[in-house]
Amino acid sequence: MNILEIEDLYKSFGSNNIINGLNLKVKENTIFGFIGENGAGKTTTMKMILGFLKPDKGQIKVCGEKVTYGETKTNRFIGYLPDVPEYYGYMTAGEYLKLCGEITGMSKKEILLKSDELLELVGLSEYKKKKISKFSRGMKQRLGIAQALLNQPKLLICDEPTSALDPIGRKEILDILLKVKEKTTVIFSTHILSDVERICDEIAILRDGKIVLNGTLSQIRANHIVDCLEVSFKNKDDFEQFINIFNNNNLMDIITHENTIYIHSNNIEKVQREFMEGLINSNLYPLCIKLQEPTLERLFLEAVR
C-alpha cells in the first residue's frame, strides 16, 4: 500500500518555479529519503503535503485521501517534525506533550500512557520534569519526534532533522527513526547522504522540481553501473590542464567537483591506458587515482549537475 501519492505537482512563487511536475509514491512501513540540494524544493513539497501551501497544479493523497489546501483532515494521519522545532521554554517535556495531547483531543489516560512510552523511546524519560529551555539541540529534536508521534500517525515527516546536530546527536535521531519504522512510515528529508545510506529503504533525488532518481539504493546502483575513474589533483592548474587534454575524448563522460574529476566509460580499460599516457606526456601527478563503484554521493552529484 502507498501511504503517500503525489501526481503531476507544480508550485511557483512569482516567476520562480520551485516544483515542476513532481511525481512520487511512498510505500507503507518504509523510511523514504527525500534528497536534494538546499533550495531544491523539499520543504515546499512537505508544506503542500500538510496542506499549508496551495499547489498550482497536481494532486496529493495521504492514505488514499486527497489533501486540500487550508483543510487539515488528512493531517490526522501525519506527524511532522520541522527542521527547527519551536517550544514554550518554560514548560517541561511532560507538560508540553500533555498540551499537545489535549489540543488533539486525546484523553488524560491516553496522554499519560503515550507520553511515558514516547519519552522512553526517544531517551528523555529522566528529563520529563526538566524545562525545555535547558534542553540541548539534540534533546529538542528528540522531543519533537515524541510530539510528532503522540497521535500515532501513519506517516512521519521529518524535515532536515539531523542537519544542525553533532555526530552523536545525529546517531541518536537516526536510531530513533529506525525504531519508529516498525509502526510508522517515515519521510526523511535531508542533504546528508551518509544518513540516507544508513537508514533509508528507498530514496528520491529532487532536481529542478522533479524527481530525477527514484528507487531502492540497490536498484539505483544496479541501473547506473558504469565504470568510473576518480582522479584528484593538488591544485587548480593541474586540474584544468587535465581537463583540457581529455575534455573532447568521446570515450569519456567527465564530471568535475572542486579539484576532483570523475571519468565514466563503458570501456574503462582503454580509458585507463589513454589516461596514464596523457599524465606521463603532460608531466601531471595526481594526488589520487581510484576505480569507483557507483556510490550515493556520485549518483547525487550526477543527478544535480
For the stretch 141-190, pLDDT in tens is 999 999 999 989 999 999 988 887 888 889 999 999 999 988 899 999 98
Residues 200 and 234 placed together within one structural domain of the fold: no
At which residue does the C-alpha cell 519533537 appear?
Answer: 144
Inter-residue contact 37 to 192 (CB < 8 Å): no
At which residue does the C-alpha cell 529522566 appear?
Answer: 126
pLDDT at 269: 78
Which triple of cell numbers denotes residue 9? Answer: 505537482
CA distance 91 to 15: 43
CA dihedral 62, 215, 44, 102 (to 10 degrees): 40
Residues 234 and 300 placed together within one structural domain of the fold: yes
Residues 104 and 233 placed together within one structural domain of the fold: no
- Strands 210-216, 202-207: pairing kind: antiparallel
CA distance 192 to 299: 14
Three-state secondary structure string covering 142-158: HHHHHHHHCCCCCEEEE
Amino acid present at 206: L
- Strands 2-13, 155-159: pairing kind: unpaired
Residues 178 and 234 placed together within one structural domain of the fold: no
pLDDT at 191: 83
DSSP line for the chain: -EEEEEEEEEEEETTEEEEEEEEEEEETT-EEEEE--TTSSHHHHHHHHTTSS--SEEEEEETTEEP-TT--GGGGGEEEE-SS----TTSBHHHHHHHHHHHTT--HHHHHHHHHHHHHHTT-GGGTTSBGGG--HHHHHHHHHHHHHTT--SEEEEESTTTT--HHHHHHHHHHHHHHTTTSEEEEEES-HHHHHHH-SEEEEEETTEEEEEEEHHHHHHHT---EEEEE-SSHHHHHHHHHHHTT-TT-EEEEETTEEEEE-S-HHHHHHHHHHHHHHHT---SEEEEE---HHHHHHHHH-
Residues 282 and 152 placed together within one structural domain of the fold: no
The domain total for the chain is: 2
Domain range for 181 is 2-222
Residue 263 pairs in a beta bridge with 229, 254
pLDDT at 45: 94
Please report, for the domain that includes residue 156, its CATH number.
Answer: 3.40.50.300
Residues 118 and 70 placed together within one structural domain of the fold: yes
Residues 244 and 132 placed together within one structural domain of the fold: no
Inter-residue contact 212 to 267 (CB < 8 Å): no
pTM over 0.85: no
Residues 234 and 269 placed together within one structural domain of the fold: yes
Tens digit of pLDDT per residue, the chain (305 long)? 899 999 999 999 988 999 999 999 999 999 999 998 888 889 999 999 999 999 999 999 999 999 999 887 899 999 999 888 899 999 999 999 999 999 888 999 999 999 999 999 999 999 999 999 999 999 999 999 999 999 899 999 999 888 878 888 899 999 999 999 888 999 999 888 889 989 999 999 998 889 988 998 888 877 766 677 888 888 888 888 888 877 767 767 778 888 888 877 777 778 788 878 888 888 888 888 887 766 777 777 777 66
Point out the domain boundary residue: 206, 222, 238: 222
Please report, for the domain that includes residue 229, its CATH number.
Answer: 3.30.70.2190
Point out the domain boundary residue: 166, 187, 222: 222
pLDDT at 225: 61
How far from the centroid of its chain's Cα atoms is residue 216's Cα?
A: 14
CA distance 124 to 115: 10
Residues 246 and 209 placed together within one structural domain of the fold: no
Inter-residue contact 244 to 234 (CB < 8 Å): no
Burial string for 125-140 (b: 16+ CB within 10 Å, else e) reads: eebeeebbeebeebbb
Residues 115 and 255 placed together within one structural domain of the fold: no
